[in-house]
């Protein structure tokens, strides 16, 4: 008899148990005769530990078992001691295996101790690409901060975002990916989506490219479908969800493309400020009444300004203080 429900042990073996369950079962496996016997039985049945990626499975096949036992035999120099070594091996192999299982599992998820976080800040004028331990990707736009655990938890993969990011999330139905944004979050099973959530802006925007996500606010939860964009008003808590034309345009920034579509000058300035880390001084408020439609892969501010000046009578003049003055011609 063992002190755990079979379901609990199965959850630990499959990698979906809670940290408390995983620790308790691991200790039972390694410190009790019953636990060692149970683990030996599992190993004989070639039980897998991690269930999502075949490359991450830990199994003990008949060939592997033979190799382990052959290695033990090779080290036994005296026949009289063979029986003693075999008796020791019967206990040690399960202990070694569970330690290996535990440490490999702990390398991928946080089983022990306090979660250790890493933080990345992408300054203005820069972009970053991050690959998480599970294969998920994050493209971070300028002036963006991302906080994430060095090891994801057993029950979910959770990160914290301020700014703008595009995410390609590896599918794992048993461990949802959660992007926390201020007092809201996006819950993901496996998908691609863009989040625009700068602290100084009143609106947050979440656009889904493919897959399925849930946008959770303090008042409600919203399912977002591919091609839809959620716009959340941080002050009022109001959320609207609509299909948008050309949804692919929202995330072209990660391909180093600047795109404006009937964009007010005030918003153009925000984009250029983040991309080039240059301040803009509007000297004539009337200039803010103009809008811009432009798609360009130009990488220099000077060339982009030239293109903008072809669209409206607004003049952009660079200064020696790393700033641009804006006025009407």
DSSP states along 2-37: -SS-HHHHHHHHHT-S-HHHHHHHHHHHHH-HHHHH
**pLDDT band, residue 172 (cuts 50/70/90):** confident
Question: Domains of the chain (ranges plus CATH)?
Answer: 6-108 (no CATH), 117-249 (2.60.120.1440), 256-328 (3.55.50.30)
**pLDDT winner (highest mean) among 41-45, 71-75, 168-172, 206-210:** 206-210
Sequence-ordered alpha helix ranges (H) in the chain: 6-14, 19-31, 33-44, 62-75, 79-108, 265-276, 301-309
Mean local confidence (pLDDT), 201-210:
96
Q: Nearest-CA neighbor of 195 among 129, 144, 130?
A: 144
Q: How far apart are CA 251 and CA 259, in angstroms?
A: 10
* Continuous segment of H or E residues that includes residue 168: strand 157-168
**Whether 192 contacts 166, CB under 8 Å:** yes
**Whether 229 contacts 241, CB under 8 Å:** yes
DSSP 299: -
**Whether 195 contacts 161, CB under 8 Å:** yes
pTM of the model: 0.67
Mean local confidence (pLDDT), 13-40:
68
Backbone angles phi, psi at 289, to 5 degrees: -80, -10
Give 139: exposed, middle or buried? Use CB within 10 Å, 0-12, 13-18, 19+: buried
Mean local confidence (pLDDT), 159-164:
97
Q: How far apart are CA 173 and CA 52, in angstroms?
A: 9
Residue 148 has pLDDT above 50, yes or no: yes
Mean local confidence (pLDDT), 170-179:
90
**pLDDT band, residue 175 (cuts 50/70/90):** confident
What are the structure tokens assigned to 64, written together? 């592997």
Q: What is the pLDDT of residues 82-129, one digit of tens each?
A: 444 444 454 444 444 544 554 544 454 454 446 788 999 999 999 999
């Amino acid at each position: 008899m063992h002190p755990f429900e079979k379901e609990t042990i199965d959850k630990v073996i499959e990698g979906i148990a809670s940290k408390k369950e995983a620790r308790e079962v691991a200790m039972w496996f390694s410190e009790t005769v019953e636990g060692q016997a149970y683990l030996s039985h599992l190993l004989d049945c070639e039980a897998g530990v991690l269930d999502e990626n075949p490359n991450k499975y830990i199994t003990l096949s008949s060939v592997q078992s033979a190799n382990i036992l052959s290695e033990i035999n090779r080290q036994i120099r005296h026949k009289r001691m063979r029986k003693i070594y075999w008796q020791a091996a019967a206990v040690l192999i399960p202990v070694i295996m569970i330690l290996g299982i535990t440490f490999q599992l702990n390398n991928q998820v946080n089983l022990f101790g306090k979660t250790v976080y890493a933080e990345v800040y992408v300054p203005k004028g820069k972009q970053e690409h991050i690959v998480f331990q599970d294969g998920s990707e994050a493209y971070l736009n300028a002036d963006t901060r991302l906080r994430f655990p060095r090891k994801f938890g057993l029950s979910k993969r959770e990160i914290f975002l301020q700014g703008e990011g595009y995410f390609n999330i590896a599918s794992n139905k048993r461990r949802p990916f959660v992007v926390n944004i201020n007092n809201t979050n996006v819950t993901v099973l496996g998908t691609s989506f863009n989040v625009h959530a700068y602290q100084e802006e009143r609106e947050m925007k979440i656009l889904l490219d493919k897959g399925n996500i849930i946008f959770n606010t303090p008042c409600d939860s919203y399912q977002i479908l591919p091609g839809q964009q959620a716009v959340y008003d941080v002050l009022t808590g109001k959320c609207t969800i609509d299909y948008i034309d050309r949804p692919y345009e929202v995330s072209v920034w990660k391909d180093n493309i600047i795109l404006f579509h009937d964009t007010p000058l005030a918003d153009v300035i925000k984009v250029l400020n983040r991309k080039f880390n240059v301040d803009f001084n509007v000297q004539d408020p009337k200039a803010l009444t103009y809008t811009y439609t432009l798609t360009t892969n130009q990488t220099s501010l000077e060339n982009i300004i030239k293109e903008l000046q072809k669209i409206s009578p607004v003049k952009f003049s660079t200064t020696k203080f790393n700033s641009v003055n804006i006025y009407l011609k």
